[in-house]
Amino acid sequence: MDVTDDTIDDISQAKTPKAKSSLLQRKLAENRKVFEQRSKELTETKRAVEEKMEAIRQQLDETDLAAAEHKDQLSITPIRPLVVTSNVSSIFALLIYNFLI
């Protein structure tokens, strides 16, 4: 069986040092291309994630700024607590007594 160096895909098929070297060089070149493509994809993905994070950070900053501006505009009216005095209790008891009679 006569196999050329370019058609060998497995090291066991390479019978000569030249065939083994050729196969290893070809596999190295293929792996380098795959590595470079993956590196490019990872770089693009990282860039996209960083851009998204920056956009979210800007939205949070704008929201915080708007909340701070609105906080200054809000006025809270204090409410005085209701204190029940003995007079109110007496009047309430008298009303209930009259209602029951």
Amino acid type, 41: E
Q: Residue ranges of the alpha helices (H) in the chain?
A: 17-73, 86-100
**pLDDT surpassing 50 at residue 2:** no
Global pTM exceeds 0.95: no
Calpha distance 27→30 (Å, rounded)? 5
Q: Which whole number is the average pLDDT over 49-73?
A: 87
More confident residue, 82 or 16: 16
Domain boundaries, the chain: 5-100
pLDDT per position as a tens digit, 8-51: 777 788 788 888 888 899 999 999 999 999 999 999 999 999 99
CA distance 15 to 4: 11
